[in-house]
Amino acid sequence: MSNAPRPALDGVLEAALYVDDLDAAAAFYGGVLGLEQVIRQDPRHVFYRCGSTIVLLFRADQTRKPPGEGALPVPTHGADGPGHICFAAGAEALDGWVRRLTEAGVEIEADFHWPNGARSVYVRDPSGNSVEFAEPKLWEQSN
């Protein structure tokens, strides 16, 4: 462990999930969730804005390829199996999300209140990733 002082972190800038099908991912994240598309580069990725965070959706098989000559030197990456992302939503908004998701034919996998009273709603995206919608108080610390 370093003895150097820890520099500040300002939050999570981006979060990545790995998907099987960019069209299905775009229909879910852009269509059902209504996130603003930032960029799409077939067949590799599609990125969305959610508040101050960017949601990166990659095809893992494409991100495991080394960058080509003249490309940005982004290291290879990828994951196997379902990932998880949680979107913050207020208590009133969660009822609206349950309605919107249900009307879009998305099955609600779980809808419950945590011991601290925060509510979470879970669904699966078309690639099987766990997508949660939760009240921000889920992670509030009590003194």
Tell me the pTM: 0.91
Return the minimum-mean-pLDDT range out of 7-16, 76-85, 134-143: 134-143
Mean of all residue pLDDT scores within the chain: 92
136 cis-preceded (ω within 30 degrees of 0):
no
Tokens of 38: 């930032």
What are the sequence ranges of the domains in the chain? 14-66+81-139
Per-residue pLDDT tens over the stretch 63-109: 888 878 888 888 888 888 899 999 999 999 999 999 999 999 999 99
Q: What integer pLDDT is reported at residue 71 of this predicted model?
A: 81
Q: Output the pLDDT for position 122.
A: 98
Per-residue confidence (pLDDT) for residue 142, from 0 to 100: 63
Burial of 14 (0-12, 13-18, 19+ CB in 10 A): exposed
Q: In percent, how much of the chain has pLDDT > 90? A: 76
- CB count within 10 Å of CB 41 equals 11
Q: Which fold has domain 14-66+81-139?
A: 2,3-Dihydroxybiphenyl 1,2-Dioxygenase; domain 1 (3.10.180)
